[in-house]
Chain A
């Protein structure tokens, strides 16, 4: 099967990844993987008593079929309120190869008709 996938990367503040995962599932994705990071932007860190405090981030990686990507990203933007300044961002990267996708495909493909059924329908 030659199906194209894209990796949706969403970066949000700590504790907001649940909204992103909910949005992804609503759009038809299986789920996601969450990794953790910290913001290093110029205006992002504060200092308390001379100690730098960098805001914690959650990064959600979601694999989606190319045809569903736009819908999923729209839902992520809506659920996580990404249009509001400071809430986060979402972007996608193309995937050139993919293996271990059986769990992804389970919910998105239909079983092909068997040859016997095809011949039966022709008659």
Chain B
């Protein structure tokens, strides 16, 4: 098995239900090809919510695999979207220690940037 320096990370984005499509559109424009979207539920953190026994807010949880070369651009774009105030959410990245499958490399954006060790 070839050893390479890390070339990708998991990008996790959690936004309100209605705004998932905007984020997906932005990710597609940034050539992020490997994406999984799932539904989630936020936990209400207010006395108001507890008094009226409101269910948690519906969330879109988006999991993507991003190339480290593109990470800065993607995070800057996300930061701009959140700072505009229209989309409320959070995004974070998780390191990947190892991944199997040639398809992973194909699905990442074109510049791999990895080196054989």
Tell me the complex Cα distance, A16–B59, Å: 19
- Check A35–B42 contact: CB distance below 8 A: no
Known: A61-B14, A97-B93. A31 touches B82 (CB 8 A): no
A interface, size bucket: 20 to 34
Chain B residues positioned under 8 Å from A33 (CB to CB)? 14, 40-43, 59, 61
Chain B residues positioned under 8 Å from A101 (CB to CB)? 90
* In the assembled complex, A26 has its CB within 8 A of some CB on chain B: no
Count B-side interface residues using an 8 Å CB cutoff: 27
Chain B residues positioned under 8 Å from A63 (CB to CB)? 90, 92
Interface residues of B in 4-45 (CB under 8 A from A): 9, 12, 14, 38-45
- Check A100–B82 contact: CB distance below 8 A: yes
Chain B residues positioned under 8 Å from A7 (CB to CB)? 12, 92, 94
Binary CB contact string for chain B from 69 to 80 against chain A (1 if under 8 A, 0 otherwise): 001000100110
* In the assembled complex, B114 has its CB within 8 A of some CB on chain A: no
Those 10 A-B pairs whose CB atoms lie nearest each other, nearest first: A31-B43, A100-B90, A35-B40, A97-B93, A98-B92, A34-B41, A100-B82, A95-B92, A33-B40, A96-B93
Instruction: List chain B positions with a Cβ less than 8 A from chain A.
Output: 9, 12, 14, 38-45, 56, 59, 61, 71, 75, 78-79, 82, 88-95
